[in-house]
Amino acid sequence: MGRAMQIDIGLIEAANERLAPVVRRTPLLGSPFLDEIAGRRLLVKPECLQHTGSFKFRGGWSAVSALPQEVRARGVIAYSSGNHAQGVAMAAKMHGVPAVIVMPADAPKLKLENTAALGAEVVLYDRVGGESREEVGTSIATARGLTLIRPYDEPQVIAGQGTCGLEIAEQAKADGVETADVLVCAGGGGLTSGIALALEARAPGLRARPVEPEDFDDVKRSLESGGIEHNDRQSGSICDAIITPAPGEITFPIMQRLCGPGIAVPEELCLRAMAAAFTRLKIVVEPGGAVALAAALYMPETVEGDAVIAVASGGNVDPEMFATAIQKYGDGA
């Protein structure tokens, strides 16, 4: 797709119109018990309740629906650790067009199965051994005439994720919150930059903050150094959904211009946050989808203001991992 396209609130509003008939408008949740842990009012945007279990459906639908009909009809291709895969697969299925998804062979079984069950052709690559998913994806796209839908460095994907920010702006205002940090789970920065752009235009008192797992805090370090920094590793985290090599070329300048400092969260706090979300919000959050909530609950010193908003970005977690989290951290306090 056209990466040179200008990304602004107009592109997000247009994506929002295309999404309106199909997107699930997730509510803002909260609990007095969580407010007490966080030490301030905490609102949670549960994108785990979105179609396919993560915000990625927004970007997938936005990108697929933006294609000219004859281009879309040839099909789309995506590479993803799982959530983008499902989002694109479902968007393609709902549009009645073929989808090829390039996934790491070590992705959670559930994500691999779901992607295939959504009608996509799944092609595996060796993430641990160092194969480049970009190269694998680009070569198949060229050979078959498919349109590559990048997971984050793609204007229409960023615009789609930004629709989550439009909802946050409106819902936070309705809940009486006009000044707050908005903590966003960050991988390549598509969701974070999209939300940041939406908030800039619609809720200037809300500031996006990228949140990452410790040891995979490329966005945080990039914001600190002023240049794109890479992670040493690309696997070995329970937060698999948001592990990417580095912030995107398109997303990074947006985050640099609009976001507050990044936050890096120890993995163990993600498990605790999953248990708290289970006990107090009745939602299922995956480890990578829980980093923002973990920071809001257990690292309150990293956040500013009387209120905080945390995006729970996905819920595609295996039963064993979830059972471990809720049994270990009991009633989630």
Q: Which two tokens stand for residue 191?
A: 């969701």
- The residue within the footprint of its own copies, chosen from 284, 291, 303, 308 (CB under 8 A), is 284
Q: Which amino acid is at 255?
A: M
CB 44 within 8 A of CB 29: yes
For position 96 contacting its own copies by CB under 8 A, the verdict is no
For position 281 contacting its own copies by CB under 8 A, the verdict is yes
Please tell me the distance from the alpha carbon of residue 244 to that of residue 234, in angstroms, as a whole number.
6
| Residue 185 dihedral angles phi and psi, to the nearest 5° | -65, 125
| Residue 25, CA atoms < 13 Å, CB-side half-sphere | 10
3-state SS, residue 314:
strand
Residues 111-170 that bind its own copies (CB under 8 A): 113-114, 117-118
| Residue 141, CA atoms < 13 Å, CB-side half-sphere | 19
Q: How far is the CB of 36 from its own copies (least distance, A)?
A: 9
The pattern of x and - marking residues 186 through 205 that bind its own copies according to CB under 8 A reads --------------------
Residue placing its CB nearer to its own copies in the complex, 14 or 49: 49
For position 178 contacting its own copies by CB under 8 A, the verdict is no
Residue placing its CB nearer to its own copies in the complex, 184 or 285: 285
For position 108 contacting its own copies by CB under 8 A, the verdict is no
H/E run at residue 213: strand 206-213
Kindly list the distances between the CA atom of residue 114 and the CA atoms of 75, 174, 283, in Å, as whole numbers in the listed order. Answer: 19, 35, 19
SS (H, E, C) 30-90: CCHHHHHHHCCEEEEEEHHHCHHHECHHHHHHHHHHHCCHHHHHHCEEEECCCHHHHHHHH
Residues 285-304 that bind its own copies (CB under 8 A): 285
Residue placing its CB nearer to its own copies in the complex, 43 or 63: 43
Residue placing its CB nearer to its own copies in the complex, 118 or 196: 118
Q: Which residues have a Cβ under 8 Å from the Cβ of 287 and sit 6 or more positions away? A: 213, 237, 238, 239, 240, 241, 267, 270, 271, 274, 317, 321, 325
Q: How far is the CB of 158 from its own copies (least distance, A)?
A: 24
- Region from 136-144, 182-190, 232-240, 281-289 binding its own copies, contact rule CB under 8 A: 281-289
For position 17 contacting its own copies by CB under 8 A, the verdict is no
CB 240 within 8 A of CB 212: no
Residue placing its CB nearer to its own copies in the complex, 281 or 295: 281
Residues 39-58 that bind its own copies (CB under 8 A): 46, 48-49, 53
Size of the site for its own copies (CB under 8 A): 34
- The residue within the footprint of its own copies, chosen from 70, 232, 301, 320 (CB under 8 A), is 320
Q: Which residues bind its own copies (CB under 8 A)?
A: 24-27, 29, 32-33, 46, 48-49, 53, 90, 110, 113-114, 117-118, 275, 278-279, 281-285, 315, 319-320, 322-323, 326-327, 330-331
